[in-house]
Amino acid sequence: MTMKRILFVCLGNICRSPLVEAVARAEFLRAGVDAKFASAGTGDYHIGHAADPRTIASAAAHGYDVSAHRARQLTGADFETYDAVLAMDQANLRNIKGVCPTQFVSRVGLFLPYAGIAAPAEVPDPYFGGSDGFERVIELARSGVRGLIARCANDA
Ligand code: 4NP
């Protein structure tokens, strides 16, 4: 069993990456695969804020808990701390690569492809939409996390 440290990154760190983090923490535990998770945003809009109320509600509806989450911004130290820094979409991937020290670029990737899912490659931003967008994030989080579990279990 291998120890992995994985950081999920979106824009605000109040919708997508906290949901994926919560799903990963719960499902890795259930699968008995050892790994550590955190999340961060490329933007600074919501530093210190709780997850969006819609994030908390859709997580809870599926048995996941993000109530303790507080948003933070990606820092340079994250590239040393985490084995994988996984972006929710292409725009965030570009921004992460823009601040990532050259020696750590191989740790940076898109969450869904890294998890073995080629399409869709992105987790769409649900912030400006309705609750169906949050359901879609949960669904993509669950399939991506299944792929990550398989990948981490095989890495052992
Ligand atoms: P997230 O969603 O990146 O999934 O946390 C967003 C949250 C906030 C904003 C955009 C996306 N915003 O523009 O404040």
Mutate to test the pocket of ligand 1, among 9, 14, 47, 69 (most ligand atoms within 8 A of CB): 14
pLDDT of residue 154: 79
Distance 32 CA to ligand 1 centre (A): 32
* pTM listed for this prediction: 0.97
Query: What is d(CA 56, CA 64) in angstroms, rounded to the nearest whole number?
Result: 8
Summarised one tens digit per residue, pLDDT across range 59-113 is 999 999 999 999 999 999 999 999 999 999 999 999 999 999 999 999 999 999 9
Query: What is d(CA 140, CA 41) in angstroms, rounded to the nearest whole number?
Result: 18
Question: pLDDT-derived band of residue 118, with 50, 70 and 90 as boundaries?
Answer: very high
In percent, the amount of the chain with pLDDT more than 90 equals 94
Residue 123 C-alpha from the chain's centroid: 10
Tell me which residue of 23, 1, 38, 30 sits closest to 152, measured CA to CA. Answer: 1
Tell me which residue of 72, 81, 77, 15 sits closest to 47, measured CA to CA. Answer: 72
C-alpha distance from residue 77 to each of 56, 59, 81, 88 (Å)? 28, 29, 6, 20
Reply yes or no: is the peptide bond before residue 18 cis, omega within 30 of 0. Answer: no
Distance 70 CA to ligand 1 centre (A): 14
Summarised one tens digit per residue, pLDDT across range 5-33 is 999 999 999 999 999 999 999 999 999 99
pLDDT of residue 156: 60
Summarised one tens digit per residue, pLDDT across range 42-70 is 999 999 999 999 999 999 999 999 999 99
pLDDT of residue 72: 98
Tell me which residue of 113, 109, 155 sits closest to 4, measured CA to CA. Answer: 155
User: If you search the block for the tokens 């961060």, which residue do you land on?
Assistant: 40
The beta-strand segments (E) located in 13-68 are 35-41
pLDDT of residue 1: 46
